[in-house]
């Protein structure tokens, strides 16, 4: 017979009404976004005959918001209630996506319009991301943050695992422009669930500080708080290393390992399974060994994932196994690291500056991305591909040194941290 205690353990956050609405809405939203993620580049290539430079512009338009308006978005999120932001961002995104089939039907679509739409939808997605990360601590307790982030990350990892296949079928059957209507519907359905989130959000206190002053408060809070400073710098180091690694990875795999595209698909599929396992096990690891140790171990796993790619044998099956294990380790480690560090960030940040701190953290961590990619490519050209892979792995382990020397390693549960 199942005891009452076991039933409560089984329920966990699934028994929390408002969290359940957030989770369902977010899952539907992310699943639908897989369609536009594939459809928009396809529209550029197939319908607009975009060249390589134009595809680069399209990619840049979807990443530029984090650097151009991300910090300002963080200030705005702290000035208003956050649940309405979730609703409005999905509504605005649906509107911009609707413009693509409309402009295509009117025969006025071009690459510049598509880039503009991509910029605005990416901006809405960014604001949505900041808002839902900021609203979670208002819905659940500190002690439940790791479990909550794990559940949200599980749904994201699962949708990214199965989503592209589903999106591919939908796009094949309906065409890229028409398939966006499915994405629009998913955003509208997610709004229905976000509206059902039942929390007492207080109107943020008005401030006379300038926008730049409020942005500086986000940086000040991160760099004066030893927990936030450590996880921000550690995340930046991992992102830098990952992008330096990625810059030469495909060339290294093709030229050194002689791996073809079909095998690469399997290797990256194994990586997706690693991300799923990381999302499922993060909360269990935190309960067993503590949040700090979980972050530390996940960082080591990522570094090992980078370094083992440097091992090359004369047996193709062994090489495939090495690359698969590498992707599995990197994806699993990154997922566990993300869940654990964002839980600490939410636990140590006062609610009134949560938006700014989240935006600043992302600005710092994403700022390392283009630098790592450029230096990784340059290193590969000057010093060699394998040497760059090894260097990236060693650099990633520098984050371990930061963590060991900080109070983060001593954190057992996020609820133990005092703001």
Answer whether 0.85 is exceeded by the pTM.
no
- Measured over the CA atoms of residue 305, residue 306, residue 310 and residue 314, the dihedral's sign is positive
pLDDT tens figures, 180-207: 999 999 999 999 999 999 887 777 666 7
Distance CA(46)–CA(307), nearest Å, equals 39
- Tell me, what's the pLDDT at 4? 42
Same domain, 144 and 58: yes
Taken in order 304, 310, 316, 320, the sign of the CA dihedral is positive
pLDDT per position as a tens digit, 301-349: 999 999 999 998 888 899 999 999 999 999 999 999 999 998 999 888 8
C-alpha distances in Å from residue 61, one per residue of 10, 66, 131, 141:
43, 10, 21, 37
Q: Which ranges of the chain have pLDDT less than 50?
A: 1-10
Domain at 230, CATH number: 1.20.1250.20
Q: Please tell me the distance from the alpha carbon of residue 16 to that of residue 19, in angstroms, as a whole number.
A: 5
292 and 340: one domain?
A: yes
One domain for residues 194 and 114: yes
Please indicate, yes or no, whether residues 243 and 351 belong to a single structural domain of this protein: yes
Same domain, 220 and 199: no
**Count of structural domains within the chain:** 2
Helix intervals (H) in 15-144: 17-42, 52-68, 70-79, 83-105, 111-139
d(CA 238, CA 361): 13
Q: Summarize the chain as % helix, strand, coil (round to 5).
A: 85, 0, 15
Domain assignment of residue 147, yes or no: yes
Are 202 and 108 found together in one domain?
yes
Tokens of 95: 């509107």
Torsion sign across C-alpha atoms 116, 239, 324, 312? positive
pLDDT of residue 167: 78
Looking at the structure, tell me whether residues 88 and 164 fall in a common domain.
yes
Q: What angle do CA 338, 339, 341 make, to 5 degrees?
A: 65
Task: List the structure tokens of 385.
Answer: 């591909």
Q: Is residue 1 a part of any domain in this protein?
A: no
Q: Are residues 187 and 241 in the same domain?
A: no
pLDDT (0 to 100) of residue 11? 62
State which of 184, 206, 228 marks the end of a domain: 206
Q: Is residue 133, in this structure, part of any structural domain at all?
A: yes
Q: Which domain holds residue 181?
A: 12-206
Whether residue 327 contacts residue 271, with contact meaning beta carbons closer than 8 Å, is answered with: yes
Q: Is the dihedral of CA 317, 323, 326, 332 positive or negative?
A: negative
Q: What backbone torsions phi and psi does residue 417 show, to the nearest 5 degrees? A: -85, 130
Domain final residue pick, 150, 175, 206: 206
């Amino acid at each position: 017979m199942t005891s009452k205690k076991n039933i409560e353990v089984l329920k966990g956050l699934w028994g929390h009404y408002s969290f359940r609405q957030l989770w369902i809405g977010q899952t539907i939203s992310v699943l639908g976004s897989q369609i536009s993620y594939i459809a928009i580049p396809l529209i550029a290539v197939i319908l607009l005959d975009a060249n390589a430079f134009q595809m680069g512009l399209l990619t840049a338009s979807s990443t530029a918001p984090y650097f151009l308006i991300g910090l300002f978005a963080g200030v705005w999120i702290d000035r208003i209630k956050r649940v309405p932001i979730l609703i409005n961002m999905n509504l605005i995104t649906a509107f911009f996506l609707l413009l693509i089939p409309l402009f295509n039907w009117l025969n006025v679509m071009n690459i510049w319009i598509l880039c503009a739409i991509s910029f605005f939808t990416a901006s809405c997605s960014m604001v949505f991301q900041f808002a839902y990360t900021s609203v979670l601590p208002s819905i659940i307790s500190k002690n439940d943050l790791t479990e909550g982030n794990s559940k949200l990350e599980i749904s994201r990892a699962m949708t990214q695992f199965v989503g592209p296949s589903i999106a591919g079928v939908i796009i094949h059957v309906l065409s890229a422009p028409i398939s966006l209507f499915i994405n629009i519907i998913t955003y509208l359905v997610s709004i229905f669930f976000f509206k059902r989130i039942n929390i007492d959000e207080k109107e943020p206190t008005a401030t006379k500080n300038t926008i730049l002053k409020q942005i500086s408060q986000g940086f000040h809070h991160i760099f004066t708080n030893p927990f936030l400073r450590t996880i921000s710098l550690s995340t930046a180091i991992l992102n830098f290393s990952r992008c330096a690694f990625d810059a030469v990875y495909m060339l290294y795999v093709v030229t050194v390992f002689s791996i073809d595209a079909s095998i690469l698909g399997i290797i990256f599929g194994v990586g997706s399974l690693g991300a799923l396992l990381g999302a499922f096990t993060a909360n269990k690891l935190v309960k067993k060994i503590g949040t700090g140790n979980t972050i530390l171990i996940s960082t080591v796993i990522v570094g090992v994932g980078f370094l083992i790619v440097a091992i090359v044998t004369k047996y193709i099956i062994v090489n495939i196994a090495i690359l698969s294990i590498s992707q599995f380790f990197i994806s699993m480690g990154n997922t566990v690291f993300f869940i654990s560090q964002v839980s600490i960030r939410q636990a140590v940040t006062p609610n009134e500056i949560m938006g700014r701190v989240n935006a600043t953290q992302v600005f710092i961590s994403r700022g390392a991305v283009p630098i790592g990619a450029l230096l990784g490519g340059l290193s590969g050209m000057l010093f060699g591909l394998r040497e760059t892979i090894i260097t990236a792995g060693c650099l990633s382990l520098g984050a371990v040194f930061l963590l060991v020397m900080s109070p983060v390693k001593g954190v057992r549960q996020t609820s133990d941290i005092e703001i």
